[in-house]
Amino acid sequence: MTPAQYTQVDVLVVGAGNAAANAALSAHEAGASVAMLETAPRNARGGNSAFTGGAFRFIYDGVDDLLKLAPDIAELDLGSIDFGTYTEGQYFDDMGRLTEYRCDPELTEVLIGNSYASAVWLRKHGVKFQPALGRQAFKVDGKFKFWGGLACHIHGGGEHLVATLHAALEAAGIPVIYETTAFELLHDDARVQGVRARHRGHVLELRAKAVVLACGGFESNAEMRARYIGPNWDLAKVRGTRFNQGYGHRMAMDIGAAPAGHWSGAHAVQWDMNAPPFGDLTVGDQFQKHNYPFGVLLNARGERFLDEGKDFHSYTYAAYGHEVMKQPGLFAWQIFDSKINHLLRSEYRIPRITKETADTLEALVPKLTGVNPKAALETLHAFNAASRPDVAFNPNIHDGLRTTGLPVDKTNWAQKLDTPPFHAYGVTAGVTFTFGGLKVTTEAQVSDTSGLPINGLFAAGEIVGGLYYHNYGSGTGLVAGVTFGRIAGAGAAAFAKGR
Ligand SMILES: Cc1cc2nc3c(=O)[nH]c(=O)nc-3n(C[C@H](O)[C@H](O)[C@H](O)COP(=O)(O)OP(=O)(O)OC[C@H]3O[C@@H](n4cnc5c(N)ncnc54)[C@H](O)[C@@H]3O)c2cc1C
Q: What is the pLDDT of residue 296?
A: 98
| Pairing of β 355-358 and β 437-438 | unpaired
Residue 148: per-residue pLDDT = 62
Q: Average model confidence (pLDDT) for the chain?
A: 95
Spacing of C-alpha 105 from chain mean position: 20
Q: How many CB atoms lie within 10 A of CB 323?
A: 18
Alpha carbons 412 and 247: distance in angstroms, whole number = 42
| Residue 76: per-residue pLDDT | 83
Span 158-163, mean pLDDT? 97
Choose one of 150, 204, 215, 270 to mutate for the ligand 1 pocket test, by most ligand atoms within 8 angstroms of C-beta: 215
Question: With a 6 A CB cut-off, is 199 part of the ligand 1 pocket?
Answer: no
Q: How far is CA 155 from CA 48, 132, 475, in A?
A: 17, 9, 13
Residue 290 region by backbone torsions, left for phi larger than 0, else alpha for psi between -120 and 50, else beta: alpha
What is the tens place of the pLDDT at every residue in 479-491? 999 999 999 999 9
Q: Give SS3 for 194.
A: strand
Ligand 1 neighbour 476 (Cβ under 6 A): yes
Pocket test for ligand 1, best of 39, 49, 152, 476 (most atoms within 8 A of CB): 49
* 485 touches ligand 1 (CB under 6 Å): no
For the domain spanning 268-430, the CATH number is 3.90.700.10
Mean pLDDT, rounded, for 229-242: 97
Average confidence (pLDDT) over 457-475: 95
Task: List pLDDT tens digits, range 415-444.
Answer: 999 999 999 999 999 999 999 999 999 999
170-202 b/e (C-beta count within 10 Å ≥ 16 → b): eeeebbbbbbbbbbbbbbeeebbbbbebebeee
If one counts every other C-beta atom within 10 angstroms of the C-beta of residue 284, the result is 21
The atom of ligand 1 lying closest to the CA of 215 is: 34
Q: Give pLDDT tens digits for 343-369.
A: 999 999 999 999 999 999 999 999 999
Atom of ligand 1 lying closest to residue 461 CA? 26
The pLDDT value recorded for residue 217 is: 98
73-77, 267-271, 323-327: which range is least confident on average?
73-77
Q: How far is CA 154 from CA 78, 107, 115, 252, 339, in A?
A: 20, 23, 14, 32, 30
Quickly name the fold that domain 3-219+435-496 has.
Answer: FAD/NAD(P)-binding domain (3.50.50)
CB 48 less than 6 A from any atom of ligand 1: yes
| pLDDT for 3 | 66
What is the share, in percent, of the chain residues with pLDDT greater than 90? 87
Dump pLDDT digits (tens) for 259-291: 999 999 999 999 999 999 999 999 989 999 999
pLDDT at 190 over 90: no
Which residue's CA is the closest to the ligand 1 atom numbered 4? 52
How many residues would you count in the chain?
499
In order of 87, 199, 454, the CA distances from 256 in angstroms are 38, 26, 8
What is residue 4's predicted lDDT score, i.e. its pLDDT?
A: 61
Domain ranges of the chain: 3-219+435-496, 268-430
Closest CA to 381 of 335, 348, 330: 335
Domains 3-219+435-496 and 268-430 share a fold: no
Calculate how far, in angstroms, residue 462's C-alpha sits from the geometric centre of ligand 1. Answer: 7
Per-residue pLDDT reduced to its tens digit, 20-55: 999 999 999 999 999 999 999 999 999 999 999 999
Helix (H) or strand (E) holding 227: none
Distance 476 CA to ligand 1 centre (A): 12
> Would the pLDDT of 134 be above 70?
no
CA dist 121 and 114 (Å) reads 10
CB of residue 246 inside a 6 A radius of ligand 1: no
pLDDT of residue 422: 98
**Residue 451 Cα, ligand 1 centroid: separation in angstroms?**
27
Among 6, 13, 48, the mutation site with the greatest number of ligand 1 atoms within 8 A of its Cβ is 48
